[in-house]
Structure 1
Amino acid sequence: MLSNAINVYGQSNESKISPKSYVAHYTKESIDIDGSALESSWSKAKPTELFIDIEGRKIPKYKTTVKMLWDDEYFYFLAEMEEPHVWGNLKQRDTIIFYDNDFEIFIDPDNDTHNYYEFEVNVLNTLWDLFITKPYREGTPVLNDWDANGFKSSVKVNGTINNPNDTDKGWIIEIAIPFKVFKTSYYHKNIPKDKFWRVNFSRVNWDFELQNNKYSRKRDDNGKFKPEYNWVWSPIGVINMHQPENWGYVYFSSKEVGENDDFKIPEDEKVKRLLYQLYRKQKEYYKKNNRWALTFKELGSDDLLIDGNKVVKTIENHQTGWNIAVVSPYTKHLFVIKEDGKIIQKED
Structure 2
Amino acid sequence: MKFIKLTIVLCLFSLISCAQSKNNIPKSYIAYKTSETITIDGEVSEASWSKAAWSDTFIDIEGVKEPTYKTQVKMMWDETYFYILAQLEEPHVWANITEHDAIIFHNNDFEVFIDPDGDTFNYYELELNALNTVWDLFITKPYREKNAALNDWTLTGLKSAIKVDGTINNPTDKDNGWTLELAIPWKAYKTSYFEKNVPENKHWRVNFSRVNWDFQLEDGKYQRKKDADGKLLPEYNWVWSPQGVINMHEPEKWGYVYFSSKEVGSKDTFTIPQDDGIKEQLYSLYKAQNSYHQKYKKWATSIDSLTAKAIVINHKTLQPTIENHATGYNISVKSPFTNKTLIIKENGKIISN
| Alignment CA distance shift 1:15-1:300 (3 Å) | farther
| Alignment CA distance shift 1:297-1:43 (3 Å) | same
Match for 2:235 among 228, 234, 238? 228
TM-score under structure 1 length normalisation: 0.95
Letter of the 1:123 partner, please give it: A
| Alignment CA distance shift 1:15-1:258 (3 Å) | closer
What residue in structure 2 maps to residue 188 of structure 1? 195
1:344 is the counterpart of 2:351: yes
- Deviates most, 337-346 or 11-20: 11-20
| Alignment CA distance shift 1:9-1:15 (3 Å) | farther
Structure 1 position 245, deviation (Å): 0.3
- Deviates most, 24-33 or 314-323: 314-323
| Alignment CA distance shift 1:287-1:224 (3 Å) | same
Contact preservation (8 Å) 1:15, 1:237: no
Aligned mates of 1:198, 1:258 — CA distance in 2:
23
Aligned-pair identity (%): 58
What residue in structure 1 maps to residue 54 of structure 2? 47
| Alignment CA distance shift 1:115-1:15 (3 Å) | farther
1:99-152 CA-partner distances (Å, limit 9, x unpaired): 000000000000100000000000000000000010001111111100000011
Aligned mates of 1:312, 1:15 — CA distance in 2:
25
Contact preservation (8 Å) 1:15, 1:277: no
What residue in structure 1 maps to residue 253 of structure 2? 246
What residue in structure 1 maps to residue 139 of structure 2? 132
Aligned mates of 2:309, 2:105 — CA distance in 1:
43
1:85 is the counterpart of 2:92: yes
Structure 1 position 190, deviation (Å): 1.1
Contact preservation (8 Å) 1:14, 1:236: no
1:293 is the counterpart of 2:293: no
What residue in structure 1 maps to residue 328 of structure 2? 321
What residue in structure 1 maps to residue 312 of structure 2? 305
1:297-328 CA-partner distances (Å, limit 9, x unpaired): 11125732222212132211111111101111
Letter of the 2:326 partner, please give it: Q
Contact preservation (8 Å) 1:27, 1:70: yes
Match for 2:68 among 61, 64, 74? 61
1:219 is the counterpart of 2:226: yes
Structure 1 position 16, deviation (Å): 7.0
TM-score under structure 2 length normalisation: 0.94
Aligned residues: 339
| Alignment CA distance shift 1:11-1:225 (3 Å) | farther
Letter of the 2:208 partner, please give it: F
Which residues of structure 2 form unaligned runs of 5+?
1-14
1:256-286 CA-partner distances (Å, limit 9, x unpaired): 0000111111111111001011011001001
* Other structure's SS at 1:242 match: coil
* Other structure's SS at 1:263 match: coil
Which residues of structure 1 form unaligned runs of 5+?
1-7
* Other structure's SS at 2:283 match: helix
